[in-house]
Amino acid sequence: MELLAHFSHVVAVFLMVAGLYVVMARGNLIKKLVGLSVFQTSVYLLYIAPGKLIGGTAPILAPQYGLYSNPLPHVLILTAIVVGVATLALGLALAVRIREAYGSIEEDEIIAADNAAEEARP
Amino acid sequence: MRNDLVLRVVGKLLIPFILLFAIYVQFHGDFGPGGGFQAGVIFAAGIVFYALIFGLENARKVVPDALVEAMLAAGVLLYAGVGVAGLLLGGNFLDYFVLDADPIHGQHRGIFWVEAGVAVTVCGVMLKIFYMFAARGDGATGLGE
Amino acid sequence: MGRRRGGTIIETLIINALLVLMALAVLVLARTRNLFAVVVLSGVYSFLMATLLVALDAVDVAMTEAAVGAGVSTVLLLGALHLCKSEEARPAHRPWLPLALSGATGLLLIYGALDLPDFADPAAPIHRHVAPRYLQNEVDVPNVVTAVLASFRGYDTLGETTVVFTAGAGIVALLRRRRHKGGGDAQ
């Protein structure tokens, strides 16, 4: 019962942890970035869900409604989404440049290429 | 994709309405869901749709690179300019009450220009990012092939 | 009164069903190795998130998530895939350490979350502090989210706009060079 009242928190934590796992365990840079954006999206859920009031309506004032969900988390997350996509694009740009420099976006191959270059240096 | 008749016809039909919807979202943001962030992204999405169907070069003719780069900075400057206007009229930075003789009307005026600034920057950044990635692919053809 | 309670149960049920669907989408996403499928799944995930945000009364955020998360970022990911290889390499060894680490983090966070206020508790601190003042409509703008975004928290939004601008400038700096040397050349 306790878990049911916190179901939104549990799912937000699961999404966060799944994103964290993808970032840590996968070597592909694009997969890592997708994992990072899942991590980021779980934060939206963590913020928005507590602002909900059952039976409430969206915070657009109208005389026939009295109960509104909390608008403050909406404002904070609204800006976070747009910043999130801008930073995702920045990460993708870095991945593209790495691909051009190393011919690969796999972490293992990039490290191997770096080590080989280190050894070849006189 | 450039030779797909269905896509070309549907795109021509839809794109004006996407752009119109973006403008509606921008100016109706005070009364319904919407505002600068959403409007900027939807407007950029309309142009991206155009670029995907008709090719990057044609999209660059409609919204040239110089304009997009100017939009990047212009939005932030417009936003900060509203703040400075508040300073010049005797208030604090980003104080909208002094922007008009009627304080509530001043608030509306401030919100309008601030949202316009946000929309311009967001639209510019989204378009610039798309142009950069598309131009990187195979020179002139972009993602449309 | 009975109709009211029925509505409450259905509202909670819809929200929980969407949460389960999102968890499933992420589970499949983490296991898939084909990057094209990963990008499509992240689009599905974003649309589920947008639907959930509508159910949670965050209509402005839902609109942004649908346009940004499912629209623009999918296009950007596909654009990046176009420039890179679309199959992920097979991992060299089973990722037990990351699995154990993220599992432990998850358990710790859930343990902490049990002390947070219950879902949709009207007496929670979040509903008592500044929100009632925002809902008094001091600036005569019916959409409270717009009013808070542009007026009450104008400094925040100025900062966020600057961050977006900076990210755009960073991408221009990273990807610009090649185009000036005369486009068209393959690698």
**CATH number, domain containing residue A11:** 1.10.287.3510
pLDDT, residue B1, reads 57
What is the C-alpha to C-alpha distance for residues A75 and B108, in angstroms, rounded to an integer? 18
Q: Give me the total of CB pairs closer than 8 Å, taking one residue from chain A and one from chain C.
A: 269
Task: Flag whether residue C71 sits within 8 Å of chain B, measured between CB atoms.
Answer: yes
Nearest to A82 by CA among C40, C157, C57: C157
Predicted pLDDT at C4: 64
List the domain range (segments joined by +) for residue A83. 2-120
Q: Which domain holds residue B33?
A: 5-144
CA distance A2 to chain B (A): 34
What pTM does this model have? 0.89
Residue-by-residue pLDDT tens, chain B, 145 positions: 567 889 899 999 999 999 999 999 999 988 888 888 999 999 999 999 999 898 889 999 999 999 999 999 999 999 999 999 999 998 888 888 888 888 889 999 999 999 999 999 999 999 999 998 888 865 443 444 3
What φ, ψ does residue A28 adopt, rounded to 5°?
Answer: -75, 130
Q: Do C130 and A96 touch (CB under 8 A)?
A: no
SS3 B63: coil
CB contact under 8 A, B111 and C147: yes
Looking at residue C11, its pLDDT comes to 86
pLDDT score, position B2: 60
ipTM: 0.90
- Residue B121, pLDDT score: 95
How high is the pLDDT of residue B98?
87
pLDDT of residue B141: 39
User: For residue B132, which residues of chain A lie inside 8 Å, CB to CB?
Assistant: 93
pLDDT at A73 over 50: yes
What is the count of structural domains for chain A? 1
Within 8 A of B37 by CB-CB distance, chain A residues are 78-79, 81-82
DSSP summary character for residue B35: -
Where chain C has pLDDT below 70, the residues are 1-5, 92, 177-187
Residue of B nearest to A81 (CA): B37
Structural domain count, chain B: 1
Q: Extract the tokens encoding A40.
A: 């980021």
Asked if the Cβ–Cβ distance from A87 to C167 is below 8 Å, we say: yes
3-state helix, strand, coil in chain C (%, to 5): 75, 0, 25
Query: Across the interface, do C172 and B29 touch by the CB < 8 Å criterion?
Result: no
Scored b (16 or more CB within 10 A) or e, A2-25 reads: eeeebbbbbbbbbbbbbbbbbbeb
Inter-chain contact B75–C161, Cβ cutoff 8 Å?
Answer: yes
